[in-house]
């Protein structure tokens, strides 16, 4: 009986996290629609990996990063400093010299589809002067059984929006693949989920490849989740702090290169 109750609880948690509406009553206070993290460079921080080239930025402007997405970007059920955009910012601080530090803005929320993200960006209307923009979106289109044609229509719109926000420079954009929640206790190794995720990721990868837009695959990391439970958050469905750190291992070199140019 306890085992059946545990499975029911995990399933309920996964359902709520993937399908929640945009109302504040559904999401906990930590799941704000927009999160701004403005952090000054700490002069006491040292570069622990001396083989990485340090980047100097000209002028007095802060380096601005915009991260767009859903629960995988907001970091559902991990700590505020554990989500991948914040880990990326913190690791960039060890590499990048900027008089006014690094500013991070996150527009993301659990349950958001491509449509939700488009509406949120239009509502927030962030500036068009970001030095780096990340985009990770699509899992809720799949989970909520939205027609794939919707993703085919709206993903390109979001990529173009990301480019606009990155000073209209596609070389300042990083598209991140969708994690595979099949490899979690919630997903139970369901191969049909993986097939769906592959379809979404293949479309995104091909779209980016044809337009010379940077695309990074982190899906393979999440597909180790059943063999390595440390990669899954306590809710049994979302990535853990460790998984996000592995995401950043792949994203960081790309981000550093984009900030050089």
Gap between the Cα atoms of 106 and 34, Å rounded? 6
With a CB cutoff of 8 Å and minimum separation 6, the contacts of 50 are none
**3-class SS of residue 253:** helix
User: Measuring CA to CA, how many Å separate 74 from each of 51, 242, 260?
Assistant: 31, 15, 26
What integer pLDDT is reported at residue 180 of this predicted model? 98
* Geometric angle at alpha carbon 137, from 80 and 107, rounded to 5°: 45
Q: Pick from 205, 133, 212, 204: which is nearest to 174 by CA?
A: 133
With a CB cutoff of 8 Å and minimum separation 6, the contacts of 16 are 26
Under a CB-based contact definition with an 8 Å cutoff, are residues 86 and 80 in contact? yes
**pLDDT, tens digit (0-9, with 9 covering 90-100), for 172-211:** 999 999 999 999 999 999 999 999 999 999 999 999 999 9
Gap between the Cα atoms of 25 and 172, Å rounded? 35
18-25 long-range contacts, CB within 8 A, separation 24+: 18/71, 18/110, 18/111, 18/139, 18/140, 18/143, 18/144, 18/237, 19/111, 19/140, 19/143, 19/144, 20/110, 20/111, 21/111, 22/109, 22/111, 22/112, 22/116, 22/120
Query: What single DSSP character describes residue 63?
Result: E
Q: Pick from 252, 217, 235, 238: which is nearest to 53 by CA?
A: 252
Tokens, residue 9: 């609880």
Give the chain's domains with CATH numbers.
Answer: 2-21+29-260 (3.40.50.1110)
What is the pTM assigned to this prediction?
A: 0.81
Q: pLDDT by residue for the chain (261 residues), tens digit each?
A: 444 444 444 444 454 445 433 322 223 223 333 443 333 223 232 222 323 344 555 455 789 999 999 999 999 999 999 999 999 999 999 988 765 789 999 999 999 999 999 999 999 999 999 999 999 999 999 999 999 999 999 999 999 999 999 999 999 999 999 999 999 999 999 999 999 999 999 999 999 999 999 999 999 999 999 999 999 999 999 999 999 999 999 999 999 999 987
Using left for φ > 0, alpha for ψ between -120 and 50, and beta otherwise, residue 112 falls in: beta
**pLDDT, tens digit (0-9, with 9 covering 90-100), for 241-258:** 999 999 999 999 999 999
Q: Pick from 19, 93, 69: which is nearest to 218 by CA?
A: 69
Gap between the Cα atoms of 161 and 2, Å rounded? 48
Gap between the Cα atoms of 190 and 69, Å rounded? 24
């Amino acid at each position: 009986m306890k085992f059946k109750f545990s499975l029911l609880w995990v399933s309920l948690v996964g359902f709520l996290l993937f399908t929640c509406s945009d109302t504040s009553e559904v999401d906990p206070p930590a799941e704000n629609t927009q999160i701004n993290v403005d952090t000054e460079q700490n002069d006491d921080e040292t570069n622990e990996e001396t083989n990485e080239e340090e980047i100097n930025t000209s002028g007095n402007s802060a380096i601005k990063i915009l991260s767009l997405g859903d629960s995988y970007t907001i970091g559902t059920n991990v700590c505020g400093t554990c989500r991948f955009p914040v880990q990326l910012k913190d690791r960039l601080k060890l590499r990048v010299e900027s008089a006014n530090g690094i500013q991070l803005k996150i527009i993301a929320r659990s349950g958001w589809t491509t449509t939700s993200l488009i509406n949120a960006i239009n509502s927030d209307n962030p500036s068009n002067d970001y030095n780096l923009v990340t985009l990770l979106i699509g899992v809720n289109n799949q989970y909520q059984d939205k027609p794939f044609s919707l993703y085919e229509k709206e993903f390109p719109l979001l990529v173009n929006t990301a480019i606009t926000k990155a000073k209209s420079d596609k070389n300042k954009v990083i598209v991140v693949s969708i994690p595979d929640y099949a490899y979690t206790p919630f997903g139970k190794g369901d191969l049909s989920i993986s097939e769906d995720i592959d379809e979404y990721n293949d479309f995104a990868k091909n779209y980016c490849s044809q337009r010379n837009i940077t695309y990074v695959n982190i899906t393979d990391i999440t597909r180790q989740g059943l063999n390595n439970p440390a990669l899954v958050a306590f809710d049994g469905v979302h990535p853990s702090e460790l998984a996000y750190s592995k995401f950043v291992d792949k994203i960081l070199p790309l981000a550093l290169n984009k900030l050089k140019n």
